[in-house]
Structure 1
Amino acid sequence: MASIVANLPSPLTTSPKFTVSATEERQSRVAIVVKATGESSESSTSLSIVKSVQNVWDSSENRLALIGLGFAAVVAVWASANLITAIDKLPLIPSAFEFIGILFSSWFIYRYLLFKPDREELLQTVKKSVSDILGQ
């Protein structure tokens, strides 16, 4: 049995290690077993989100306001889901919204995605909006 340890770079983890074992079965078959020994990208991302929430909670002076904002966010999601369900039950409205969505999607594709200069313009607009939001 041969074992190989490979360090593969990843943008989310510092240096994950994988153990690859190859064993020969019979004469022409080779079985390869891979075991991950580092954190997965999903778990490290979720851990960073948890850590950032903990940092906000620890550095906050007014925790009651944070609890209120969290409760308001839950209520807003619940209310919007109920509003969408109520609109969906109306007989003509869902078809009209679907038609409007198809028209807008067609216009967006024609305006921004069909030709290369328009795609570059869209990319510049998105980059400018992101820099405005992040304050860079």
Structure 2
Amino acid sequence: MASIVASLLPPLLLPSRNSQPGTFPTFPVSLLSGRRSNVSLVVKASGESSESATSLTVFKSVQNVWDQPEDRLGLFGLGFAAVAAFWASTNLVAAIDKLPLFPAVFELIGIFYSVWFTYRYLVFKPDREELFQILNKSATDILGQ
């Protein structure tokens, strides 16, 4: 495997001088130490994925709120509320975990919900796009834009 990487990287980094439009350059590849063959590569560029564009809009929204001085106090309050909710939920889970029957029941509920959420929102691309739309709508509602 190392011989493939070693023989592919230098030709890919240096452009071919005698390439004609419509012809593809060939690169020598050595899978075994004694044999050499030529491989043609065709590379296609794809557009920006919707996931990265979605995450960029959330960051831009937060940055826009941060740039407005009157909204900084609200952003700090939102951050403090998130930390306080995380702390409270951690303590609630620790208290429930000490009860005898509840941990096993909640573990089963958590497993079933995780399987449902994965199937509902993560397996198929249209469902992932729907999830990103829901997250963007929630972020814009919270940030008031």
TM over 0.5: no
Bigger relative CO (Cα 8 Å, ≥ 6 apart): 2
Report which of the two has the higher share of strand: 1
When normalised by structure 1's length, the TM-score is 0.42
When normalised by structure 2's length, the TM-score is 0.40
